[in-house]
Amino acid sequence: MIDIQNLSFGYKRKRLLYKNLTLKLEAGSIYGLLGKNGAGKSTLLKNFIGLLFPKDGKIAVNGFEPKKRWPSFLETIYFIPEEVYVPALTVEGYKNLFSPFYPAFNEKQFYSYLDQLDVKDKGKLNGLSFGQQKKFIIAFALACNTQVLLLDEPTNGLDIPSKIKFRKLIASIFTDDKIIFISTHQIRDLDNLIDRVIIVDNGELLLNASVEDISEKLCFKTVSKLSNPDEILYSEDSLKGFSIVTKNTNAEESKVNLEHLFNAITEKPILAKAIFQN
């Protein structure tokens, strides 16, 4: 579990990126963190793993204080940054040098994930393309079987088939004792994968809700004419009229469109908060 209480963080004390952020992330969910560029998505992830320290407030990850970077904490969490690092080692060499640090590492799973992600064992890892390197690190991270997995823009650099394989793999390895936290601005890559959506903007938590809850409270549909503009959180022109996000007053069933959801929440945060508080 990740427990954040009154977190304040900023690269400069006078310009805080997060002010008094309180958030609780329970195991058993795949979280999607959405935010604009510079909203502090990577910063939040770095606070979770202890690469950055809160200016105020507390973070506890599985009961550990990330700031201390204790090995017993780091064994239970894996962070894949947007840019990955691979040394000039072979797949075997990398596995031999790095897997001993992760007690729950499973070699069989590692090779299976490499296979599923179509990572070819062609000499040194640093000679692979960026996408291949990223898939290699994803396979290694998943095989480490850590309780918490933090992924920062994991699909950047992956081709379309790889993105699909990535989504399938994440879904297949997920178990109820894990937290997978994915930060991205490529919202469509998270479609059908995440359980819960977190949206941050201007240092504020605008939304933390399950996909079920969102589809219950909001309606995503296409209409030919705009009516009741006060109830519309977001609208955009589409071929058949307007794609809109409205309050789901008639208990309509609709598929959550993450892109529209994000625009709706960031454009009308007060209205969105009011809807989700009830």
Partner 1 sequence: MQLRKSQSLQKPFFKIKTSIMNNTFNAKRFGFLFKKTLLEKPTQMFGFTGLIFLFILILYYLMKTFASFQAAQNISFLWGLVGGDFILTSFMFGYFSSTASGSFYLTLPVSNFEKWLSSFVIAGILYPLIFMAFYRIMDAGFVAAYHNSLDPNAPFYKIRYDSVYLLSFNDRLPRIVYPMFLVFSGIMLIGSLYFNKVALVKVALAICVLFLSIYGLNYMFASLMFKNIDDAFPFQHVAILVGKEVGSVELPKKVHDPIWYFINFGLPVVLWGVAFIRLREKEF
Q: Which residues bind partner 1 (CB under 8 A)?
A: 46, 49-53, 64, 68-72, 74-79, 81-85, 87-89, 93, 97-98, 100-104, 106, 109, 145, 147, 167-168, 171-177, 192-193, 211
Least distance to partner 1 from the beta carbon of 154, Å?
13
Least distance to partner 1 from the beta carbon of 23, Å?
21
**Choice between 169 and 232, CB closer to partner 1:** 169
Query: Helices 91-98 and 107-116 meet at what angle, rounded to 10?
Result: 140
Residues 29 and 195 sit within 8 Å (Cβ to Cβ): yes
50: Cβ contacts below 8 Å, ≥ 6 apart: 66, 67, 68, 69, 73, 74
123: Cβ contacts below 8 Å, ≥ 6 apart: 90
**Choice between 195 and 267, CB closer to partner 1:** 195
Backbone angles phi, psi at 262, to 5 degrees: -60, -45
**Choice between 140 and 262, CB closer to partner 1:** 140
**Choice between 105 and 247, CB closer to partner 1:** 105
Q: Measured between alpha carbons, how far is 255 from 181 in angstroms, rounded to an integer?
A: 22
Residues 149 and 142 sit within 8 Å (Cβ to Cβ): yes
How far the first Cα of the chain sits from its last, in Å, is 25
Least distance to partner 1 from the beta carbon of 197, Å?
13
Least distance to partner 1 from the beta carbon of 239, Å?
24
Least distance to partner 1 from the beta carbon of 102, Å?
7
Rounded to the nearest 5 degrees, what angle is found at the Cα of 243, between the Cα atoms of 163 and 245? 90
Least distance to partner 1 from the beta carbon of 85, Å?
4
4: Cβ contacts below 8 Å, ≥ 6 apart: 21, 22, 23, 24, 25, 57, 58, 59
**Choice between 134 and 260, CB closer to partner 1:** 134
**Choice between 93 and 161, CB closer to partner 1:** 93
Least distance to partner 1 from the beta carbon of 103, Å?
3
**Choice between 79 and 235, CB closer to partner 1:** 79
Residues 182 and 194 sit within 8 Å (Cβ to Cβ): yes
